[in-house]
Structure 1
Amino acid sequence: MLDGSERMGQENFRYAREFVENVANRLTLARKDDDERNARVALLQYGDENQHQVGFKLTNNFTVISDGLGRMRYLDSTSNAGSGIIYAVNNIVTNRGERLARRNAELSFVFITDGVTSSKNLEEGISAMRRAEGVPTVIAMGNDVDKEILSKLSLGDQSAIFRGQDFTRLNKASFFERFVRWIC
């Protein structure tokens, strides 16, 4: 879940895309769709209430991931994480009520954000994430963050909030390795 807000900025969006690609490259991706042990990933850039961009749906194919990231354009929108979560649950995690994520797979929602998002639809989005049994992790960069929103997104788990001074830190070894250990 990648923030596409105007506050994020084009340069930070580039750092975030690079981070997603590095994480996907580092994970042990599933060998096929029914692989019970390894990862499949998806990416949604969320913006305004009805402005979302799917980078790639759940996949274990690194070429699909890399191509999707290459095609993804920065939204330069407002930030509405709540509607983004609802969209992801309805269009990436499930399709017409059928779960697309593997049964028994831990469903991780990773939010990469500048730390500020609209509270509109947030409670509804969080409820949808809970119903989907999503486990959240929040990556919030910058000093000007809304701690209450971050706490809500992380379902109150402060250890699931990764903070950094700026987006250049995402791909620094210390931050990157700590995040990968957490998510794996």
Structure 2
Amino acid sequence: MFTGIVEALAEVIKVETEGTNKTFTLKAEIAREFKIDQSISHNGVCLTVVETNNDTYKVTAIEETLIKTNLDPVKEGDKLNLERCMPASGRFDGHIVQGHVDQTAVCINKENRDGSWLFDFQYDPTLGNITVEKGSICINGVSLTVFNSASDTFRVAIIPYTYSFTNFHNLEVGDRVNLEFDILGKYIKRILGGYQ
């Protein structure tokens, strides 16, 4: 389980295709603390460390993950948001994040507000996911608060620290992001809608 508080950026230094899978070699200072079999959130996607070597490590994404997330087009030089699992004694500085991407969205607007930024995203509402005003959402592994919630769009505000410390500073209109909708909202929606 994660909280959506990004610890570091990892640089992709190699991408290898193996059948329908892709193995990513990444470099990050905190990788020195990683262990094989450890779960790490990469842009909000929970992936297992399969190899470590000082400040580099490897993870593999299977075809299903590549189809449902924005990891398939990732290339050398790209930066991914990293977060390790929350320790049992840790604090929830963000919200409950599972590292299971529900779907992707497209950035449809980016607006500089004299030091902070507003981003608008559009997603496919036919997949059954919803946002609520002032509710939580995880975008590329970052816990954020929704506003201007509509049936297929929403807006988030990014403070300068988050903008510079995560890969939001590289995000442009037309880019695709990973979305994980609030788990509490998903359970409530399922209960109210009935099981099918």
Of the two, which has the highest radius of gyration? 2
Shorter-chain TM-score tier: under 0.3
Write 1 or 2 for the structure with the bigger share of strand. Answer: 2
Higher relative contact order (CA 8 A, sep 6+): 2
The two structures have a TM-score, normalised by structure 2, of 0.27
